[in-house]
Amino acid sequence: MFSIVSSEERRQVVEGARVYRASLAPCPRDWLKKRLSSMAMAHGHEKDPDRAAAWLQETGRLLWDLPHDVLAYAIDEAIKRSERGFMPAVGQIRAIADPMVATRREETYRLEAMAMVIEGRSRPDQSARPWERVVADVAPEDDRIPASDIAAFNRNMRKFGMAMRCRADGSTFNLEPGAADPTIDGDDR
């Protein structure tokens, strides 16, 4: 098979997908506990040890799912942006971190999709672009668009006379003029 991608480049894509997936792992709990404790000492005004422990527990629970490097950056940025030296709230930290995690997750899915194509594991949906063929295979269940949302989107597109439709994997396509709408089921007619 002829390919413009070398075997070394293929290996790098597969390895890159593995590294990106690993970079989404939650931060180490011991690091987070130390970081939050130092924040509480430096910026906290709570003197009651029970309330301080509760703050540490709850804040840790709400931030633990973030990757280590992203969380460290988000905490630093939130502290820099805080007004009058107050400790940043979880929402301020997440406002910085969540878009970064979403971008990384999207890049991970794309790399994993490329790796699947390279390894010959993609599903044969010839109407989809190559990276769309495998998104449903690599995206975790929590990140998939619910079927009810896809059906509602397609109903609204029909209602407003739009050609855009959404496939079950969340990718979109445009109906050709006069073509049958494959997204209509018995309940939508």
List the chain domain ranges: 1-144, 146-188
The answer to whether the beta carbons of residues 152 and 169 sit under 8 Å apart is: no
51 confidence band (pLDDT: 50, 70, 90): confident
- For the cut 70, the answer to whether the pLDDT of residue 121 exceeds it is no
pLDDT tens, residue by residue, 61-103: 999 999 999 999 999 999 888 877 678 889 999 999 999 999 9
- For the cut 70, the answer to whether the pLDDT of residue 125 exceeds it is no
- For the cut 90, the answer to whether the pLDDT of residue 156 exceeds it is no
Q: What pLDDT is stored for residue 133 in this prediction?
A: 45
The answer to whether the beta carbons of residues 112 and 21 sit under 8 Å apart is: yes
2 confidence band (pLDDT: 50, 70, 90): very low
Residue partners of 52: CB distance under 8 A and separation at least 6: 40, 44, 46
Q: Model's pTM, two decimal places? A: 0.60
| In the chain, alpha helices (H) | 7-22, 29-43, 49-63, 68-81, 90-118, 130-133, 135-138, 147-159
